[in-house]
Every structure is written in C-alpha cells, then in structure tokens.
Amino acid sequence: MLSALLLIPFLSGIACYFTASDRLRRQIPVAAALANLAVVGMIWARGGELPGGEWIGVDSLSLLFLVINGILFTASAVYAAGYLEQHRREYDANRWLSREAIFTGTLLVFLATMTLAIVSRHPGIFWMAIEATTLTSAPLISFQRSNRSLEAAWKYLLICSVGIALALIGVIALAVSADFSPALNNLPITFSMLIANAGALQPVWLKAAFVFILVGFGTKMGLAPLHNWLPDAHSEAPSPVSAILSGALLNCAFLGILRINTVLVHAGLGEFSNQLLLALGIFSMFLAGGFILMQADFKRLLAYSSVEHMGILAVALAAGTATHAGGMLHALNHSLTKGMLFLVAGNILAAFHTKSTRDISGLVRTMPLTGVLWIAGFLAICGVPPFGVFVSEFTILAGLAAGERWIVMALFLGALGIIFVGMARIVIPMAYGTPGESGPADGATRWWSAAPPLVLCILVLVLGLYIPPPLYRLIEASARVIGVN
C-alpha cells in the first residue's frame, strides 16, 4: 500500500511525458489523483498506520498530511486539465515531451516527491524528498516562460537550494549528536530512534542541528524572514500550481520542522526550540500583515496570507501541547481554504488578464459565482465564523489561554486584526463596487474552473460546523505524535 502511494503518481507522471494525445494526457492527473485519494482512504479505513520500514512508514501525522495533499491535489488536477486546454499551443499540440506533457508529468512526479516527504521516517530520506520537491516544482512555476515566471523560478531555486544545503548540515549535525553515545553509534538515525533515545543525544549538536534545519526547511516553509521566494513563486506560477505550493508543499516542509522539534522536546530542549519557533511564527504573522496592508496584486496577497498562516502553524506548534490539536486542524483548514482562493484567483486572472487589485471591481455583478466564492474565501481565510479556519484559530487561542500565554495571545490577535483589515480593504472593493468599464474580457464560467473551488469551499464550511468523528480522532492522534505523552 505504501508503495502504491508513491508509485501511482510517479509512474503516471512518467506516462504523461510519453503520451502524445493532449486529451488523454489531461485526464491522467485526475485519474491518478483519485487513485491516490482512494489509497489514502484505504489506509485510513484500516486504522491509519503502516509501520513500513526504517525509511518510510505512515503514522497518524503522515496520514493527516496525506489526506490534505490528496484533496488539494485532486481539486488542482481537475482545474489544471481545463487550464491546459485554455493555454494550449497549436504548434505544440499532440506531441510527446511537449511543454504541456512535461508540465503534466512533472506535476505528478511533484506529488510523488511530496508524498515521499510525508511518509519518510528518516531525516535523510525526508531531506532528499524535500530537495526533489524543489527540483520538480521549479519547472511548474516557470511554465509560462515569461520573464517574470523565469525570474520567480530562478529565485525559488537559488534561495531554496541554499536552504536545503543548510538543512543538510543540520541532518549531519543530528548524526553527530547521536555519535557521542556508543550505544547509538551505528543505528540508523530514524525519527523514532532519535525520539526514543533523545536523552542520549549530545545537546549542543542537537541544538545546532535544530537551528540549521529550522533555517533550511523554514525557507521552504516560508517563515519570515526567509520567505523571499514565496510571493514571487506563488504569484507567477499557474494558479493550480500556486494552490498546490501553498496548500501542500509548505505543509511538507512544516512536517520536517515539526518532527525535529519533537526530538528536541523529548531531549528536554523544548524551551530552546519552541522559543525560536514562536519568534519566527509571530514575526511571520506581522510581516505578512505589513505586506498585505500595502498589496496591489491579488495573487501576492494570497501568498503573503500563506506566510501568515505558516506563522500561525509555527506558533501553534511552539506554544505547548494545548495548541497542537488546533494547529493540526488549522493545517487542514488553511490548505483547503488557500487552495480554493488560488483557484478563484486563477479564474479572476483568466477573465480580467490582470493581477492588479485596482483594475477589478464589481465581481459579484459581472461574475456572480466567482465573486461570491472570492468573498467567501476571504471571510474563511480571515477566520470569520462559520468557516473552518475560525474553529481552528479559536482552538489555538483557547490553547494559548489555557497555557496562560497572554503576550503571545495578544500578539496573535493583533496580527489577525491587521490582516483582516488589510485584506478587507482589497477584497471588498474587488467584489462589490461598481463594475469598471474594462469588464471581464472573458467572463464565462466553466464547470472545471468553478467546481473545484466550490467543493473546497463547501468542505471548509462543513469543517466549521461539524468535524466528523474519524477526522477528530485523526487530529487527536496526530497531536499525540507531536506532544510529549
């Protein structure tokens, strides 16, 4: 089952490279995404754990992230099929290894690398998977081959490759910290081995490892001040790719930080690692707030909102066991909401051919469904009830209150307030207001562009009203994996 999880996207990706028919090829990611979702569902139905081996395996935490990835990728794959149909090039049609074939195939291989990151149980394997995600996502970002998308992809590669090099130093330092104790000398340094023997690890090296890994994977996760690549990549990539980058890739990097943090907590260095995470998290929230206030590009707006939500996840991880469940629920809610918002943004971009917020107004009147989804997405991402993000942010706040972290709580609420005002100032005129003279060039709503964000929106709404018991148990179980029991 574990190998099906990795092989389905990988092999279907390879198949895409060598499929000549455009029509057939566009269906492959959708089919693979559904198959992937089915496998994840089967793992969940069978209890949700696959011990696997030394290198890969599924625990509750992996399963939660697999579920998030599966849903988001399916939505994006449906959307991408239509997107590619709209952006087809006659001279490049129906050829194998055409630009479109490479895009489609790489999208699936990218899913395989993210899945590998989620199921890895060894920091080394995790590191390799994250490096592979960087390499496979760069050509997706530069798909349009415009100057700006090439620049964004180059910046992404350069910044994230330095981050990954730093993370490798962290992984080596982790190995050195285990080298001090003769008993651990030749054991493979899996996450579970490190947690079980946390007390025997050399603390100075363990701290150094954490700092390097935090900076390295933090770059990938988009924690400020290491987030520089993120707004460019997210705004220049095709919208279905932006949705996956923001909703799935950032989570994968977060997972690595999370697992290393657990090792430090077990080694009694939790205070050190949590303070660092907390500082980066709060800083990310405020920095995102500042950039959102003066944003003039709606895809960059969403990108900075992702920086904010990664900050929230870092805070939820760092503030103690009371906030862990809220944080895990928030990862799910953020991914679904942000995926939906990026897909809606893609529809707006396709209709107006501009990313400038000032040139767009009266969406609700000219494109009713898109306009309503845009407003709903805005309310959802800002944590307005009855959407899911409200529940998860409220749970995190309740956790902060239970831990008597009043200062953190005040800063957290302050940042949320700034971001709400900043986003409202941009989103509301876009949706309401009088339609400008330059109305949408192409306002037609197609089922492939409307259905995926609509379904995601309904999911976020449902999560705000009712959390199904199996999901509740999964979140509790994954919070237990992080926490000290």
Partner 1 sequence: MPIQVSIALLLLINLHLLGTSRLNALIRAVAWQAFLICALGALVNRDVLEWHGWLVIVTMVIVKSIVLPMLMRRALRETAVRREIEPLLGYAASLFAGIILLAVSMWGAWRLPLPNAIDPLMIGSAFFTFGVGLLLIVSRIKAITQAIGYLIMENGIYLFGLAAAAGQPLIIEMGVLLDVFVGVFIMGIMVFNINREFEHIDTHQLAILKD
Q: Tell me the DSSP string of 6-50.
A: HHHHHHHHHHHHT---HHHHHHHHHHHHHHHHHHHHHHHHTTS-B
Stretch that binds partner 1, among 172-180, 213-221, 326-334, 364-372 (CB under 8 A): 172-180
Query: Mask 56-75, x = binds partner 1 (CB under 8 A)?
Result: --------------------
Q: Interaction with partner 1 in 414-433: which residues (CB under 8 A)?
A: none
| 172 counts as binding partner 1 under rule CB under 8 A | yes
Comparing CB distances to partner 1, the nearer of 50 and 169 is 169
State the nearest-atom distance from the C-beta of 194 to partner 1, in Å: 12
Tokens found for residue 172: 């080596």
Stretch that binds partner 1, among 38-46, 72-80, 184-192, 297-305 (CB under 8 A): 184-192
State the nearest-atom distance from the C-beta of 160 to partner 1, in Å: 9
Degrees, nearest 5: CA angle 300-303-305: 115
| 189 counts as binding partner 1 under rule CB under 8 A | yes
Stretch that binds partner 1, among 177-185, 254-262, 272-280, 398-406 (CB under 8 A): 177-185
Comparing CB distances to partner 1, the nearer of 31 and 204 is 204
List CB contacts of 404: < 8 A, sequence separation 6 or more.
none
Angstrom distance (rounded) from CA 453 to CA 451 = 6
State the nearest-atom distance from the C-beta of 152 to partner 1, in Å: 9
Number of Cβ within a 10 Å radius of residue 282? 22
Closest CA to 63 of 77, 32, 42, 34: 42
> Tell me, what DSSP letter sits at residue 195?
H
Residue of 10, 73, 110, 205 that binds partner 1 (CB under 8 A): 205
Comparing CB distances to partner 1, the nearer of 151 and 359 is 151
> Tell me, what DSSP letter sits at residue 436?
P
- Cβ-based burial of 294 (10 A; exposed 0-12, middle 13-18, buried ≥19): exposed
Asked whether the beta carbons of 331 and 313 are under 8 A apart, the reply is yes
Q: Interaction with partner 1 in 128-167: which residues (CB under 8 A)?
A: 128, 131, 135, 138, 145-147, 150-151, 154, 157-158, 161-162, 164-165
Closest CA to 118 of 13, 248, 244, 234: 248
Degrees, nearest 5: CA angle 20-27-33: 125
Comparing CB distances to partner 1, the nearer of 169 and 451 is 169
Query: Mask 88-127, x = binds partner 1 (CB under 8 A)?
Result: -x--x------x------------------------x--x
| 206 counts as binding partner 1 under rule CB under 8 A | no
Comparing CB distances to partner 1, the nearer of 236 and 308 is 236
State the nearest-atom distance from the C-beta of 436 to partner 1, in Å: 29
Residue of 11, 34, 35, 175 that binds partner 1 (CB under 8 A): 175
State the nearest-atom distance from the C-beta of 145 to partner 1, in Å: 6
Which contacts qualify for 222-225: CB closer than 8 Å, 24 or more apart?
222/250, 222/253, 222/284, 222/306, 222/307, 222/310, 223/280, 223/281, 223/284, 223/307, 223/310, 223/311, 223/314, 224/280, 224/283, 224/284, 224/287, 224/288, 224/307, 224/311, 225/283, 225/287
Number of amino acids touching partner 1 (CB under 8 A): 37
State the nearest-atom distance from the C-beta of 431 to partner 1, in Å: 33
Comparing CB distances to partner 1, the nearer of 180 and 286 is 180
Asked whether the beta carbons of 289 and 308 are under 8 A apart, the reply is yes
Comparing CB distances to partner 1, the nearer of 120 and 333 is 120
State the nearest-atom distance from the C-beta of 61 to partner 1, in Å: 23
Asked whether the beta carbons of 12 and 112 are under 8 A apart, the reply is no
**Beta-bridge partner residues of 50:** 58
| 198 counts as binding partner 1 under rule CB under 8 A | no
What would the 3-class secondary structure string for 239-293 be? HHHHHHHHHHHHHHHHHHHHHHHHHHHHCCCHHHHHHHHHHHHHHHHHHHHHHHH
| 191 counts as binding partner 1 under rule CB under 8 A | no
| 443 counts as binding partner 1 under rule CB under 8 A | no
Comparing CB distances to partner 1, the nearer of 57 and 289 is 57
Comparing CB distances to partner 1, the nearer of 80 and 153 is 153
State the nearest-atom distance from the C-beta of 79 to partner 1, in Å: 23
Asked whether the beta carbons of 340 and 462 are under 8 A apart, the reply is no
Angstrom distance (rounded) from CA 336 to CA 64 = 13
Query: Mask 346-385, x = binds partner 1 (CB under 8 A)?
Result: ----------------------------------------
Q: Is 120 helix (H, G, I), strand (E, B) or coil?
A: strand
Interaction site with partner 1 (CB under 8 A) = 89, 92, 99, 124, 127-128, 131, 135, 138, 145-147, 150-151, 154, 157-158, 161-162, 164-165, 168-169, 171-173, 175-176, 179-180, 185-186, 188-189, 202, 204-205
